[in-house]
Structure 1
Amino acid sequence: MSHQEVPQPILFVIDHFRNPNAGTEGQMLNLIKGLDRARFEPILLVFRDSEYLRKYGFPCDYHVLGHTRLFAPVTWAALWKLAWKFRASEIRLAHVFFNDPSVICPPIFRLNGIKTIISRRDMGYWYTLAYRVMLAISGRFVSTVITNSDAVKQVTIRAEPFDLSQVHVIYNGYGAGETFCEVPADLTELRTKHLNAVFVGLVANIRPVKRMEDAVKAIGQLHQSGHDVHLILIGDGSQANLRLLASEQGVAERVHFLGPRADVKACLKALDIGLLCSESEGFSNAIVEYMQAGLPVVCSNVGGNPEAVEHGETGYLYPCGDVAALASHLRRLSDSGELRQRIGDNAFRCARERFSMETMVAKHQEIYDGLIGPERSG
């Protein structure tokens, strides 16, 4: 870009922004923060306001549509009015996140002269017949699709009207994290009580898709074989069923619920192994956070997980739902501190090389330039 050119505005669209630590919202926030402001000027559009935005604001100008019902004429009318204003202010490109905005935005934006990128970040569990019909129409107005793993790319191509040339994979980006942060007091106390134990951490909200019961059952098997392994669960959600299962497995004293935490990275410093048991993952933020913390990873072989974890090198993959295989990998790692160190070191190096914030931002900027460039030179 020459010195005479002004930064090109990029409109980011999401239905809500409530939690900067959530997966998609966090990645979008980091992308916006990382953009080269000499080249791009981000603007945010949310379909509905949130307590977070009202209290903390956002690192760029933001607009609130004020309507959320996908089939309501007032929603389409309000978006059309805003799109016309955006195009009048020289916005030529929009990057749209989440499902409903990706249905309504592409046709309205295209008819107002704004190109649209949509993001796909999961394995398509939300695809219903109604969504497929709508996406078959709105997808024809989409210029480019960005997915966060090759697994998600394949699902997207099968379900939506895109060809390979339209869909690009950009892995999630992560900052280097805090080099110096103290282990939280509650975890320090827990480790002091169990000096010889191996601590396995699982960071996820308690939902059926996360299959946390498999982790509890695996700890039960390890307990039966005489292994002193504890499970740390970090995340929101109802704990009652998992607590009952832990009691039935005889490991109630070995399964610890920390609830939702803002200091996850500090918590990871107190752990020995990172675990994820999900039956569906587009690309897991938790896995890369484990790797950044230098933890060996054990995870289900689903979705984008095998793209992040190299079996035997940075962790171990197991067939989803196979508790015996899960327990076997945990047993192997718990038996050898040297093995945990070697695989954890490999994971740390891999995370730094493949999943940096700088790489994620740079790849997005290349795509933005490619879509805006023809209009600049036209």
Structure 2
Amino acid sequence: MKILLVIDRLTNPHAGTEGQFLLLINLLQNAGCELRVVILANSDWLNKNPLSCSTAVIGSSSIKSPKTWWRVYRQARQAEVDGFQLAHIFFNDASVVCPPMFSLAGIKSIISRRDMGFWYNSIYRAVLPFTGKFVSCALSNSRAVANVTGEVERIPQSKLRVIYNGFNRTLSAEARVPELEALKVSGATIFGLVANIRPIKRMQDAIAALAQLDLNSHNPHLVIIGAGDTTELKSLASNLSVGERVHFFGSRSDIPDCLQYLSAGLLCSESEGFSNAIVEYQFAGLPVICSRTGGNPEAVTQDQTGWLYEVGDVAELSKAMAAVLNTPERAKAMGTTAKKEAESRYTIDAMLNQHLSLYRELIGVKS
């Protein structure tokens, strides 16, 4: 099969959507697909890290610019001549411009949706229901995201599909993280939060919940792994007298190795599509404490694989953290259950096979 993969830009291979995009490239190539990646805007990362397949950079990404639409159409026409019949499109601007332009060239479009639409502004809300008429399928990574996509973009139910993210995580018993090793040796119970530092992630709730725990028992600490400005969070931790218990690790490539030191994984977001962090926690055998929003309840079962609490309810978050401290064997058992579920639901093979099946269905190719 020949598949076009389209995205606004590639700047951070460790970010959720971009990481899954790059993973999909490798998987589809290994499955024998012929790929062409179309990117609206260039980036320093892309210049330093050329992709392993044919790549075309449009050089214009503004949906307000006629130049963007014309260049996308010209690229679509060339792709059609070269035998491409289907485009899988990621991110916001590409999913506005590409479906109608690709349709004019005779190429079908899949748009991917991976969050609860916090980026929908008045322009997107006005334009997407129109450009969505040219979409053959809207593919989401959770039922919650699919429902929002259908409602806001007016995509018919028959065109909504869900494929959960796929992961291939293995932990090496010899992979050590010195900073976390030292904390463990000191007797600390470590909670972890993996996410880039942004207001929507509500990391201040985790710090406030930590401050409400009995700090004289179990020696609780919080480790935050992700890029972003730590100034305000450090100030909050200091004001709540837990500055020495909150550790900022920044962006890291050894997250699976870090997770083996944790007693539970946290996610405090006010909005989530389907969290990669939750699944990574589960693959590491951790119970998950997360806000009840978006796709989180699809991944975490209350009192079986973790705890769910209402967004912003710091008292409930702290109560769940205290449960990990006070009943560690129960928390460990929940993590074991979570790991078994993750290994059956979120495999690389399952994700790849479902993508290939969808592509074949839309192109009209039998497996």
| Distance in 1 between residues matched to 2:173 and 2:82, nearest whole Å | 44
Select 1:186's aligned residue among 166, 179, 185: 179
Higher mean alpha-carbon deviation, 222-231 vs 339-348, is at: 222-231
Select 1:360's aligned residue among 348, 351, 361: 351
- Tell whether the 8 Å contact from 1:49 to 1:64 is kept in structure 2 after alignment: yes
Select 1:244's aligned residue among 231, 235, 242: 235
1:30-79 Cα offsets, whole Å, 9 max, x none, are 12211265652121011122222222211211111111121111111111
1:256-267 equivalences under 5 Å are: 256-267=247-258
Shift of 1:106: 0.5
Matched, 1:308 2:270: no
1:180-224 Cα offsets, whole Å, 9 max, x none, are 4512112112222x22x2100001111111111110111100036
Matched, 1:28 2:42: no
- Tell whether the 8 Å contact from 2:86 to 2:108 is kept in structure 1 after alignment: yes
Secondary structure of residue in 2 paired with 1:10: strand
1:157-192 Cα offsets, whole Å, 9 max, x none, are 110121111000111111133444512112112222
Select 1:213's aligned residue among 199, 204, 213: 204
Matched, 1:163 2:156: yes
- Tell whether the 8 Å contact from 1:293 to 1:348 is kept in structure 2 after alignment: yes
What amino acid sits opposite 2:113 in the alignment? R
| Distance in 2 between residues matched to 1:306 and 1:191, nearest whole Å | 30
- Tell whether the 8 Å contact from 2:191 to 2:222 is kept in structure 1 after alignment: yes
Secondary structure of residue in 2 paired with 1:201: strand
- In the other structure, the counterpart of 1:351 is 342
Matched, 1:47 2:40: yes
- In the other structure, the counterpart of 1:323 is 314
- Tell whether the 8 Å contact from 1:181 to 1:266 is kept in structure 2 after alignment: no
Select 2:88's aligned residue among 67, 83, 95: 95
Higher mean alpha-carbon deviation, 145-154 vs 331-340, is at: 331-340
Secondary structure of residue in 1 paired with 2:364: helix
- In the other structure, the counterpart of 2:146 is 153
Secondary structure of residue in 1 paired with 2:269: coil
| Distance in 1 between residues matched to 2:182 and 2:287, nearest whole Å | 23
When normalised by structure 2's length, the TM-score is 0.96
Matched, 1:201 2:187: no
| Distance in 1 between residues matched to 2:214 and 2:252, nearest whole Å | 27
What amino acid sits opposite 1:70 in the alignment? I
| Distance in 2 between residues matched to 1:318 and 1:35, nearest whole Å | 38
What amino acid sits opposite 1:146 in the alignment? L
- Tell whether the 8 Å contact from 1:297 to 1:314 is kept in structure 2 after alignment: yes
| Distance in 2 between residues matched to 1:68 and 1:95, nearest whole Å | 17
| Distance in 2 between residues matched to 1:178 and 1:201, nearest whole Å | 16
Secondary structure of residue in 2 paired with 1:262: coil
Shift of 1:269: 1.1
| Distance in 2 between residues matched to 1:354 and 1:85, nearest whole Å | 38
1:302-333 Cα offsets, whole Å, 9 max, x none, are 00000001111111101111111111111111
Higher mean alpha-carbon deviation, 327-336 vs 177-186, is at: 177-186
- Tell whether the 8 Å contact from 1:222 to 1:228 is kept in structure 2 after alignment: no
User: What count of residue pairs does the alignment treat as equivalent?
Assistant: 367
When normalised by structure 1's length, the TM-score is 0.94
| Distance in 1 between residues matched to 2:341 and 2:148, nearest whole Å | 26
For structure 2, which runs of at least 5 residues remain unmatched after alignment? none
Question: In 2 relative to 1, CA 180–51 (structure 1 residues): closer, same or farther, beyond 3 Å?
Answer: farther
For structure 1, which runs of at least 5 residues remain unmatched after alignment? 1-7
| Distance in 2 between residues matched to 1:231 and 1:369, nearest whole Å | 46
- Tell whether the 8 Å contact from 2:222 to 2:245 is kept in structure 1 after alignment: yes
Higher mean alpha-carbon deviation, 136-145 vs 51-60, is at: 51-60
| Distance in 2 between residues matched to 1:29 and 1:260, nearest whole Å | 18
Secondary structure of residue in 2 paired with 1:253: helix
**Paired-residue identity, %:** 46
- In the other structure, the counterpart of 1:3 is none
Question: In 2 relative to 1, CA 81–27 (structure 1 residues): closer, same or farther, beyond 3 Å?
Answer: same
| Distance in 1 between residues matched to 2:56 and 2:50, nearest whole Å | 11
| Distance in 1 between residues matched to 2:194 and 2:290, nearest whole Å | 12
Matched, 1:255 2:254: no
- Tell whether the 8 Å contact from 1:153 to 1:169 is kept in structure 2 after alignment: yes
CA RMSD between the two structures: 1.6
Select 1:63's aligned residue among 37, 56, 60: 56
